[in-house]
Chain A
């Protein structure tokens, strides 16, 4: 019944490794996001997809590559992990309606990535 689910919840890995985080939403939304929350709890958007198309790509190192196989899934692959990548990564989704700005964003429970 979880609306936005992401796996894994916890991930500890060594510098230089490649890892992926998967996300699925069962809300029927057309837009999905990846947000990064650092140790100071600052929440910043990384990417957004609308109907499988990339619509927002913030200034993120190209080691981060999102992939959306369909509008219910948005995965995040990270190459050559660095210490500074340690953070909580939140997947989220919303139903964007033209002319309306109050669309609620629903977040997953987060994936806690620790790079050692």
Chain B
């Protein structure tokens, strides 16, 4: 089976740093992605890690450890607009040879003033 676990909710204040963890158990692994979804909106791509280590994109960074089946999203200098749900997602391989994206349970981030 496939499972990706994330904390259900994280709270923080503006300007702070927050880390959202993701542990996964999938039959195949072809990279870890992170998506952001505001209430009522569409999921949008944030980052992708194929190899171990840290990837930085502005205020957001994503980390992957394949040996630990673990990754995290780090959000720095939090802003109110960062309040949203964050999903980790793993690419897995289908029998057809095509890949599919399997999403985690999602973490709701609440940023307060």
Size category of the binding interface on chain B: 20 to 34
Q: Does B72 contact A (CB under 8 A)?
A: no
Size category of the binding interface on chain A: 20 to 34
Q: Does A102 contact B (CB under 8 A)?
A: yes
Bound CA–CA A44/B43 (angstroms)? 12
**Are B105 and A108 neighbours in the complex by a CB distance under 8 Å?**
no
**Are A56 and B31 neighbours in the complex by a CB distance under 8 Å?**
no
**Are B96 and A56 neighbours in the complex by a CB distance under 8 Å?**
yes
Residues of B within 8 A of A56 (CB): 94, 96, 98, 100
Say how far A103's CB is from chain B's closest CB, in angstroms: 8
Which A residues lie at the B interface, using CB under 8 A? 4, 31, 41-45, 48, 50, 55-56, 90, 96, 101-102, 104-110
Bound CA–CA A45/B43 (angstroms)? 13
**Are B106 and A101 neighbours in the complex by a CB distance under 8 Å?**
no
Q: Does B85 contact A (CB under 8 A)?
A: yes
Say how far A76's CB is from chain B's closest CB, in angstroms: 16
